[in-house]
Amino acid sequence: MNLKEVSKNSLKLLNNVNIVSDDIFRCLLENSVSVLSGGQELHANESLFGSEPDLMKELYANLLIAIVEFVRNGLNKEEVQQYLISECNINKKRSDVFADAYNNNKPEIQISLLNIGNHPPHITDVNWSIDFIVKSSTMDKFGGPLFRVSFTIETFNQEKQCVQMDHLNFTCNSQEMHDLVYKLKDAGRQCERIVMEH
């Protein structure tokens, strides 16, 4: 866990009560955690920055960097406090406020971090029905029930930049259904074995 010197220097600005008042500090923190949790900024930046927009822009950016780095390294509340006080020379009061905000929103930001990456579509739900055709125009006899399965798939749509639900539909007879279930169980067992071995 190591922040850049530039970031550390910038964070020292938190000690300056004239530029960063308690209210502004709280609003900045709220904005940061909200943005990092995937939401929108709660307070308008222009109203917070006041007379020193360049310093505040710098501070805001480095606050964001610090929070993300802390989460990425999995620090807990005490470690964050410790780090802020000893490495960045930030006073006790401010670092306490920071650590509180950090601790309360850590899981949300962790989820944000978890959701970076490229993954195949995920099956999240299933709808199914069993049909039994007694007779139809083309055939008199049928082998048994027909399983109609629809997997709900979640995948990330790159164009729209949002989650998209897809449906994977298929129909099978009981033999094929047995096959599918058997294979799924087999796969599950394989996974268990791998887990046992490691």
Partner 1 sequence: MDEVDNIIIETLKALNCDITEEISSLKQFDDNLVVQSISSCLEAIIPSSKFPKKLSPSMAIRLKTASYLAEQVKDIGFKDEIGYQTILYFNEIEIRRLLIFLIEKLPKDLDNFPQVREVGYVPEILSVLKQKLKTFPALWIPPQLLNRGVHIHENNFYIHSYGNSIDLNIKKLKIPSQTDANNSNNSKFYNIHILPVVTNQCTNQQLIPSLLFEDCIYSKKNKSMLDFITNIPIIGKTDESLVDNNNKIGSQIILREEIDQKEMTKEAAKPINQVLLEADNIQNISENFKVEEQKYLTLKKTVDDNQSFLNKLNLTIKEEEEILQDKTNCLKIKMKTMAILSQEENLHKLKQLVEKANSRLLDLAKQWNEVKGPLLEEYNSLKASLLEEDSVLQEKQHKFKSILAAYDEMLNDLKHKVELEQKLIEKHQQQSKNTNRSTYTKNIMEIIGNIKKQNHEMQKILKDTKDVQKDINSLTGQIERSFTISDELIFLNAKKDEASRKSYKLLVSLHSECGEIVKIVSDIGFIERECRNLQELIDIETTKEIAVKLKRLNEDLQQMKEENINLQKQVQ
Enumerate binding residues for partner 1 (CB under 8 A).
Answer: 6, 9-10, 31, 35-36, 38, 41, 45, 53-55, 57-58, 60-62, 64-65, 68-69, 72, 107-108, 110-119, 121-122, 124-125, 152-156, 158, 161, 163-164
Please give the Cα distance from 104 to 76 (Å, whole number).
Answer: 11
**Closer residue to partner 1 in complex, CB, 60/83:** 60
Residue 45 CB, nearest distance to partner 1 (Å)?
5
Which tokens go with 49?
């920055």
Return the residue matching tokens 């599950």: 188
Least CB distance to partner 1 at residue 140 (A): 40
**In angstroms, what is the minimal distance from the CB of 55 to partner 1?**
7
**Cα-based torsion angle of the residue sequence 136, 138, 140, 142 in order, rounded to the nearest 10 degrees:** -80
**Phi, psi angle pair for 94, to nearest 5°:** -65, -45
Q: In degrees to the nearest 10, what's the CA dihedral of 79, 84, 87, 89? A: -150
Given the complex with partner 1, which of 142 and 154 has the nearer CB atom? 154
Identify which of residues 58 and 96 has a Cβ nearer to partner 1 in the complex. Answer: 58
- Nearest to partner 1 of 61, 130 (CB atom): 61
Other CB atoms closer than 10 Å to residue 12's CB: what's the count? 13
State in angstroms the smallest separation of the CB of 175 from partner 1: 27
d(CA 7, CA 65): 8
